[in-house]
Amino acid sequence: MSYNSTLLIAPEWLDSGDNAWQLTAGSFVALQSVPGLVVLYAGWVKHKWAINSAFMAFYAFGMVLLCWMLWGYKAAFGEQLLPFVGHPGPAVRMDYMLGQSTLPTAGVSQNFPQSTMIYFQFVFAAITLVLIAGSFLCRMNFFAWMLFVPLWLSFSYTVGAFSLWGGGFLFKYGVLDYSGGYVIHLSAGTAGFVGAWWIGPRIDEDLEDNQPNNILMMLVGAGILWIGWNGFNGGDPYAASPDAGVAVLNTNLCTAVSSLVWVAMDLIYFRKPSVIGAIQGMITGLVAITPAAGFVAGWGAIALGFGSGIIPWASMNIAGRRMSLFAHVDDTLEVFHTHFVGALVGGIGTGIFATVEGCAAFGVTNPGGAVDGNGRQVGLQIVGALFIIGWNIVWTSLIMCFIKYVCRIPLRMTQEQMEIGDYAVHGEEPYTFAHYNIKHPTPPLMRRRTTKKGDEEGQKGGVLMGKDPAVTVEKAPSSGDSIKEMPEKGVTTGAHTQ
């Protein structure tokens, strides 16, 4: 095999440092979804929903990538078709992927290949759908979710991304969204809340007993989410620039303050520090700093941290428990409060705290925010938020109606599936303990070990996996003894008896 040496020479436009950082940042964001949110969701729900919740996130990640390559990327970042969306089309040709990254409608280029930009923007699109899933967990029909993902990506996400980042009308108006406070979090919070209303609530059993099955697993997922956000915000200058360093520092500062403030609010109101509360505060801090990360100074990040620790806390723990609106919508993981409210805090806060220096470092001409005398920026931020909210209310509803009434796919699982959980939906369970099989009408037979090939089950080999919990052992067998079994009366399980 021989190589043409001219093809191995890097093009003049390539900055290897920028390319390396962009690929690293994109990988950080990918880790936020898989395994970050996969693990976080699996631990946050009841044990019977761990697999379904994790799989909804896992599926969305893969499906978004396929759609992104075939039509989504160019609809979000290609040539303008309408003021709010680009021409959809495939991004799979080798010459296109090897060429220099450009955003044609926005009129900017980057010093890395188009393939790097496609991947970086894909992980943002993917995590948006994964966040929406948090509102639908524990009752959405998986077949409906399989269709919802490509439809919502096509008709909602691409519009927000093009309008604010790809050179669309909000971009031209000067609305600031550093890394997705509106494109990702406000849209996810809106779509999750509206979609949850269309799907309906969980069954009473799951509403009354919804304790997380593994809080330590939640902390693992939360930690991946937090550190992965360094790529989320640090990658959006599209260069290994000074502003990228500012964005990473501000991200961690705001998040730390927000989590601490949330814990303090829990202590004041509930008299106990909550681990789940600390995670919620972490999430709202990450969300609030996202539209502002490189635009604000350190003191602005601290101010946003206080706002995102107090306002979403009050929204969730006071308004969420007293306003009738929230009583009629079952938002499983409170995505509305953490992402919708948190994004409004950050988006409007950007209009207040953005600095002239931060805007210039990012490459935009906005003269800062209200603190630098540009009060008009607050109004622009509100206009941008209203468009994202309105678009998502309409299109999420249309998509849900299309799935339900045109495709004739139920939005909800059957009653039996919701009562049983993972095993009824996927034929799998998260933990292999017999007592989780109690509700199964025909649980899977589990292999039992025997002393030697040909021995009958339960003879001289001891009782192993799959034993009917209704059977008790009269005495522990010694060498050569056989097991004497006595069934307890009045106890019924889903296990087979021998």
Q: Are strands 85-86 and 100-103 parallel, antiparallel or unpaired?
A: unpaired
pLDDT of residue 439: 55
Amino acid letter, 260: L
192 belongs to a structural domain: yes
426 belongs to a structural domain: no
Residue 384: partners with Cβ closer than 8 Å, 6 or more residues away: 164, 170, 173, 175, 177, 182, 347
What is the Cα–Cα distance from 133 to 41, expressed in whole angstroms?
Answer: 9
Same domain, 191 and 320: yes
pLDDT band at 330 (very low <50, low <70, confident <90, very high): very high
Burial category of 184 from C-beta neighbours within 10 Å (exposed 0-12, middle 13-18, buried 19 and up) = buried
Nearest to 339 by CA among 277, 265, 284, 282: 284
What is the Cα–Cα distance from 465 to 383, expressed in whole angstroms?
Answer: 61
Residue 200: partners with Cβ closer than 8 Å, 6 or more residues away: 139, 330, 411, 412
Domain count across the chain = 2
pLDDT of residue 430: 82
Are 42 and 214 within 8 A, CB to CB?
A: yes
pLDDT of residue 167: 95
Nearest to 139 by CA among 196, 62, 58: 196
In tens, the pLDDT along 242-253 reads: 999 999 999 999
Q: What angle do CA 155, 158, 162 make, to 5 degrees?
A: 135
Q: Is the pLDDT assigned to residue 407 strictly greater than 60?
A: yes
Q: Pick the last residue of a domain from 357, 388, 415.
A: 415
Same domain, 50 and 171: yes
What is the Cα–Cα distance from 420 to 156, expressed in whole angstroms?
Answer: 33
Q: Is the pLDDT assigned to residue 305 strictly greater than 60?
A: yes
180 φψ region: left (φ > 0), alpha (ψ -120 to 50), beta (else)? left
- Residue 3, CB-side half-sphere exposure with 13 Å CA sphere: 5
Same domain, 436 and 397: no
Q: Once rounded to an integer, what is the mean pLDDT over residues 330-357?
A: 96
Structure tokens, 444: 């899977």
Q: Once rounded to an integer, what is the mean pLDDT over residues 328-332?
A: 94
Residue 190: partners with Cβ closer than 8 Å, 6 or more residues away: 340, 388, 389, 392, 393, 396
297 φψ region: left (φ > 0), alpha (ψ -120 to 50), beta (else)? beta
Q: Pick the last residue of a domain from 388, 415, 442.
A: 415
Same domain, 445 and 322: no
Q: Is the pLDDT assigned to residue 460 strictly greater than 70?
A: no
Same domain, 407 and 483: no
Q: Chain centroid to CA 44: how far?
A: 13
pLDDT band at 479 (very low <50, low <70, confident <90, very high): very low
- pTM given for the model: 0.85
H or E stretch including 82? Answer: strand 80-82
Q: What is the mean pLDDT of the chain?
A: 88
pLDDT band at 193 (very low <50, low <70, confident <90, very high): very high
Structure tokens, 358: 């931060």
pLDDT band at 442 (very low <50, low <70, confident <90, very high): low
In tens, the pLDDT along 86-121 reads: 999 999 999 999 999 999 999 999 999 999 999 999
Same domain, 93 and 42: yes
Same domain, 240 and 127: yes
Q: Which domain holds residue 230?
A: 20-415
Same domain, 265 and 159: yes
6 belongs to a structural domain: no
Same domain, 350 and 461: no
Q: Peptide bond preceding 113: is omega within 30 degrees of 0, i.e. cis?
A: no
Same domain, 344 and 386: yes
- What sign does the CA torsion over 128, 132, 138, 144 have? negative
Same domain, 352 and 436: no
Same domain, 130 and 269: yes
263 belongs to a structural domain: yes
